[in-house]
Amino acid sequence: MTTPHQQPAAPAASYTSPIPIRRAHLGDALASEWTKIRSVRSTMWTLGVMVLLMTVIGLGLAALVTAVGEPAPTDESVLGLGVFGALTGSICVITLGALTVTSEFGTGMIRTTLTACPSRARVLAAKALVFFVLAFTAALVTVGLVALCQVAMVDGREPTGEEWLLGTVGVSLFVALLGLTSLGVGAVVRHSAGAITIMLGLMLLPLVAGFFMLGSSALQDVSEVLLEYSVPAQLIGVYGEAAGSGPAGWGAVATMLGIAAVALGAGFAAIGARDV
Amino acid sequence: MIEAVGLTKRYGAKTAVYDLSFQVRPGAVTGFLGPNGAGKSTTMRMILGLDQPTSGHVTVCGSPYRQLPNAPRQVGALLDAKAVHGGRSARNHLLSLAQLSGIPARRVDEVLGVVGLQEVAKRRSGGFSLGMGQRLGIAAALLGDPQVLLFDEPVNGLDPEGILWVRNLMKQLAAEGRTVFVSSHLMSEMALTADHLIVIGRGQLMADMSVRDFIAHNSAGFARVRTPQGDPGQREKLSAALTGAGGQVLPEQDGALRVTGLALPRISDLAHEADVRLWELSPHQASLEEAYMRMTQGAVDYRSTDDQKEGLQPDQQPGGPAPLPHVPEVPQQGWYAPPPPATSPPGQPASAVTAPEAPADAAASRPPAATDPTQSEDPR
């Protein structure tokens, strides 16, 4: 049935575009991802809610502490009040991180993107970079302003330079890295709800499980590890108060960096190997 | 230029594409035909490096897609019109794709003009109709001004004006020397657009030839012979003579005879020798649609009797459109009467039945534009 075909005389020279062709690089992908992330509403919504939550919770707590008039304990800085806002706000960052990748899979846009840029690692790297810088900047500005207000409102020990750095840059890094972890998980599971659920579980389950294990003496060690390395405990650790022997200060940020690196690594492996 | 060699894709036990080899050349519109589930989209995804072939390889412009230095500048593709983020405006969608390959932003406005979406460029693409979505997808394919273009079902959801536009666009792109590869399950559409056809069925290559050759090889042309009415004796005499000469004769309801296997002049000679007057002796050529149905029909029968290739059978999706009419007893009913059952079973390649007239001549004298299923039985 199949016969070798005789093509009618085709033009010898094929088409060449008048627009000069140059090699595409990571910079192009970064510009593209920036266009993508700024042109969807979910970015504004998630970051807006994050800013709102951090501000309202941070300032509300400061106002509450001031109203009660309880003398602040001298061993901890006022900046520690920011932990609740940061913890709540990080859920928004997780959502945005997951959506950055999974919304492309959900809509099928990923096929269009990977057709336009067959280098999958470049696409994911650009996504991760753009998301990280955006989340970090948004968190830093919010956390910084809230911290300034808190220090101004609450009487207490003036935070040291190191505490300032940890309470603003450290916390913002921690939150942005948590979002990056979510992005990596999103690249692996390719499903928005799935990725966000996994991240929330990752955040809260160790804490909950650890509390339930406290009653049993046999599980004492496991319980301690779970509690010390749970995300909320580490976030508290960034503010300088380690839970038991868990990481504190920059150590907690470094732990988060390790987790984010693992998640992103898995994301790179998954997106590179799979069919889309 | 697209070149596939031994392309095979398996999803678990299911084989979507099996040992597919073909070339798509520049300067012509190449139609990629197959019923639903034949493996067209899978093949396109493999060409674009989205799916990794299980075995075999495919190159575009001489290198695998994922190794092209700036792929969108060489290959443009419309895979799925819905593959956009609905929350993003048409312009931003195209802008992000343009930036990905360093295409200047003014090119975005250019292609928006080409597809006629300037008015809605700022609107979120989620609210687009299917036709507008197709136009947006075509704009994305044209963005890089590439020399190779792939379109997967580009006319889906377009209005008649849009279909005409796509048809002319394809031809124009090919005339500029580009490689245009268009998939479709609509044979009638391909008849109007394509110069060359690659037909696959159940993931296997069934034909790779020009549209004209395709009709000539696969159509079951026949001659209609009418003897004077009210004289059944003459009819029977002619019938016997024709059968004796190796032709196959099938009486039609209105008294005419349908003859296959004999050329028109031979029928005339035989009638003359038998001393039978003829009221009608006319050639009938199957349309592209018929040729296509006939060919894919054969593939189904072939596969279903071969146990070794059971794994090639894709699952029938309940509720989904039936990929093929599974009526081997009365194939192509409604198109034209079935071939003589004893001599041409549906599984047999249609080309085995010799057309009464030299088929190439018939196809040549009839432009593809006139091949419409409803017109196939009109006497010329």
Residue B254 binned pLDDT confidence (cut-offs 50, 70, 90): confident
For strands B28-33 and B179-184, give the pairing: parallel
Q: How far is CA A27 from the centre of its chain?
A: 22
Question: Which tens digit of pLDDT belongs to each residue from B184-216?
Answer: 888 888 888 999 999 998 888 988 999 888 877
Whether A13 is in a domain gets the answer no
pLDDT digit string (tens) for B95-120? 999 999 899 999 999 999 999 999 99
Range of the domain at A72: 26-273
Report yes or no: B290 and B332 within 8 Å, Cβ to Cβ: yes
pLDDT in the model for residue B311: 58
Mean pLDDT, to the nearest integer, of B79-99?
Answer: 92
Does A20 map to a domain?
Answer: no
Band the pLDDT of B297: cuts 50, 70, 90: confident
Question: Quick check: B1 and A40 CB within 8 A?
Answer: no
In total, chain B counts a number of residues equal to: 380
Q: B253-271 in b/e burial notation, b at 16+ Cβ within 10 A?
A: eeebbbbbbbbbebbeebb
Confirm if A260 and A177 have CB atoms less than 8 A apart: yes
Look at A14 and B65 and tell me if their CB atoms are within 8 Å: no
Domain B222-284 in CATH 3.30.450? The answer is no
Six-digit token string for B19: 């040992």
Tens digit of pLDDT for each residue in A86-100? 999 999 999 999 999
Please name which of A117, A273, A120, A19 lies closest in space to residue B69, comparing C-alpha atoms: A117
Higher-pLDDT residue of B131, B298: B131
CA nearest B20 in A: which residue?
A2
Bigger pLDDT: A8 vs B233: B233
Facing residues of B22 across strands? Answer: B4
Angle in degrees, 0-180, between the axes of helices A220-229 and A231-238, rounded to the nearest 10:
60
Q: What is the pLDDT of residue B161?
A: 92
Contact A5 B208 (CB under 8 A): yes
Confidence band of B135 (pLDDT split at 50, 70, 90):
very high
Inter-chain residue contact B102 with A24, CB threshold 8 Å? yes
CB contact under 8 A, A22 and B102: yes
Report whether pLDDT(A191) > 90. Answer: yes
Domain boundaries, chain B: 2-213, 222-284
> Mind telling me how many Å the CA of B78 is from chain A's nearest CA?
8
Contact in structure between B65 and B49 (CB atoms under 8 Å) = yes
| pLDDT at residue A275 is higher than 80 | yes
In Å, what is the CA distance from B8 to each residue of A23, A33, B31, B40, B62?
A: 31, 34, 20, 12, 19
Contacts of A17 in chain B (CB under 8 A): 73, 144-147
Of A28, A39, A41, nearest to B100 by CB-CB distance is A28
For residue A105, tell me if it sits in a domain: yes
Q: What is the pLDDT of residue A256?
A: 94
Q: How many helices (H) and strands (E) does chain A have?
A: 11, 0
Given A29, A103, A276, which is nearest B100 (Cβ)? Answer: A29
- Whether A1 sits inside 8 A of B349 (CB atoms) is yes
Q: How far is B140 from chain A, CA to nearest CA, in Å?
A: 9
A-contacting residues in B 38-57 (Cβ below 8 Å): 45, 48-52
> How many CA atoms within 13 Å lie on the side-chain side of B309?
17
pLDDT > 50? residue B345 = no
| pLDDT of A3 above 50 | no
Predicted confidence (pLDDT) per residue in B306-319, tens digit: 455 555 655 554 44
- At A172 the pLDDT is 96
Interface touch A19/B107, C-beta < 8 Å: yes
Domain count, chain A: 1
Confirm if B35 and B324 have CB atoms less than 8 A apart. Answer: yes
Calculate mean pLDDT across residues B271-295.
Answer: 81
Chain B nearest C-alpha distance from A136 (Å): 22
Q: Is the predicted pLDDT of residue B322 greater than 70, yes or no? A: no
Average pLDDT, chain B: 79
Across all residues in chain A, what is the average pLDDT? 88
Say whether B1 and A14 touch across the interface (CB within 8 A): yes
- B66/A contact by beta carbon, under 8 A: yes
Task: Report chain A residues whose CB lies below 8 A from the CB of B292.
Answer: none
pLDDT (0 to 100) of residue A11: 43
- Residue among A40, A36, A210, A215 at smallest CA distance from A130: A36
Chain A residue numbers with beta carbons less than 8 Å from the beta carbon of B87 are 39-42
pLDDT score recorded for residue B359: 40
Distance in Å, alpha carbon of B52 to nearest chain A alpha carbon: 6
Asked if residues B88 and A106 have their Cβ atoms less than 8 Å apart, the reply is no
pLDDT at A120 over 90: yes
Give the whole-angstrom CA distance, residue A223 versus residue A237: 17
Nearest CB to B83 within list A3, A7, A109? A109
Q: Is A181 within a domain?
A: yes
CATH homologous superfamily, domain B2-213: P-loop containing nucleotide triphosphate hydrolases (3.40.50.300)
* Tens-digit pLDDT profile for residues A141-181: 999 999 999 988 888 778 888 889 999 999 999 999 999 99
